[in-house]
Amino acid sequence: MNERSAEMAQSAKAADTAAPEERTQSTGVYIYGLVPEDVEVSSDARGIGDESGEIKLVRHGEIAALVSEIPLDRPLGTPDDLFRHEALLDATAAEVPVLPLRFGSVMTSAEAVVDELLTPHHDEFRSALEELEGRAEYVVKGRYVERTLFQEVLSELPEAARLREEIKGKPEELTRDARIQLGELVNQAVAAKREADTQTLVEVVAPLAVFTVIREPSHEQDAVHVALLMETDRQGELEEAVNEFTDRWADRVEMRVLGPLAPYDFITARTTQE
């Protein structure tokens, strides 16, 4: 993916630099992402805001921005706002290429979107969208079954089993040190299992993808958390591969596939980590 294009897309968040006291208008233009110019917006598409703002396209050349009007005195950042932002982009990614913009990207007007975002970076955005044609992000998540995981650790680590017996049935205040030691052993064992299981999964699913990103765990019992940029017509192959792991890791890891999604891990996350 063209990293320069991603950086340009990120700049939209800072494009509206006027101080609040200098604004005389009551509404602004919220930008969700960028798409090819020939895309049509569904009549029932809705964005963020109390009234679920109508989604429109701001076109320039061969690209366009997905936008909706929002009141400037309304603070952004509620869970519902983020959900609607992502839901719109994911629904779009299922149909057409989309470059997602970071949550909270606002400009003063449609003219500003054209003049400050689309015009200066038209060619970069067009090239990035061409790269995404027929592709979307998929996320493979696996979470350890807690009871099975703990049994594995106890059977593999005699010291953990000993500490478990030491604290069994005893007051917490009298076994604090042993509980801390046991917790540390379990955490280290889970981290090692996660690394090994992730590598096993990646060896199978990475050949199906254009790019692969290993995500940080979002939960202490996460077994695998992998993002893939893939051709959408290979979704069936990915699901088949994950189903094999579901069978292999039955009663040990609960597996699921999310997607198609907007390519967040291959656009937004890359630039925010630099």
**Band of the pLDDT at 19, cuts 50, 70, 90?**
very low
Residues 97 and 49 in one domain: yes
For residue 143, the 8-state DSSP code is E
Q: Which residues pair with 231 in a beta bridge?
A: 135
Q: Which residue has the tokens 């109390």?
A: 50
Residues 22 and 148 in one domain: no
pLDDT at 222: 97
What is the mean predicted confidence (pLDDT) over 140-169? 94
Q: Tell whether the model's pLDDT for residue 20 goes beyond 50.
A: no
Residues 171 and 102 in one domain: no
What is the mean predicted confidence (pLDDT) over 225-253? 97
Final residue belonging to a domain, choices 78, 102, 132: 132
**CA–CA distance, 189 with 43 (Å, rounded to integer):** 51
pLDDT at 269: 34
Q: How many domains are there within the chain?
A: 2
pLDDT at 51: 63
Residues 80 and 191 in one domain: no
**CA–CA distance, 212 with 202 (Å, rounded to integer):** 8
pLDDT at 272: 30
Q: What is the largest CA-CA distance in the chain?
A: 72
Q: Tell whether the model's pLDDT for residue 3 goes beyond 80.
A: no
pLDDT at 9: 52
- Please state which of the ranges 16-30, 39-53, 80-94, 166-180 shows the lowest mean pLDDT: 16-30
Range of the domain at 168: 136-272
Six token digits for residue 228? 């893939």
Final residue belonging to a domain, choices 78, 106, 132: 132
**CA–CA distance, 147 with 139 (Å, rounded to integer):** 25
Six token digits for residue 75? 């603070």
pLDDT at 50: 62
What share of the chain has pLDDT > 90, as a percent? 73
Residues 49 and 169 in one domain: no
Q: Tell whether the model's pLDDT for residue 48 goes beyond 60.
A: yes
Helices (H) and strands (E) in the chain, counts: 9, 9
pLDDT at 78: 87
Q: Tell whether the model's pLDDT for residue 259 goes beyond 50.
A: yes
Residues 51 and 106 in one domain: yes
Helices (H), 110-175: 110-112, 122-131, 146-156, 158-167
pLDDT at 251: 94
Residues 149 and 78 in one domain: no
Distance in Å from the first CA to the final CA of the chain: 15
Q: Tell whether the model's pLDDT for residue 4 goes beyond 70.
A: no
What is the mean predicted confidence (pLDDT) over 79-107? 93
Residues 141 and 265 in one domain: yes
Final residue belonging to a domain, choices 84, 109, 132: 132
**Band of the pLDDT at 52, cuts 50, 70, 90?**
low
Residues 78 and 161 in one domain: no
- Can you point out the beta strands (E) in the chain? 27-36, 56-60, 63-71, 99-100, 106-107, 135-144, 211-214, 222-231, 253-261
For residue 2, the 8-state DSSP code is -
Residues 115 and 185 in one domain: no
What average pLDDT is seen over the chain?
88
What is the mean predicted confidence (pLDDT) over 197-216? 97
Q: Tell whether the model's pLDDT for residue 187 goes beyond 80.
A: yes
Residues 261 and 140 in one domain: yes
The number of residues in the chain equals 274
Residues 17 and 123 in one domain: yes
pLDDT in tens, 53-81: 789 999 999 999 999 999 888 788 888 99
Q: Tell whether the model's pLDDT for residue 270 goes beyond 60.
A: no
Residue 152 maps to which CATH number? 3.30.70
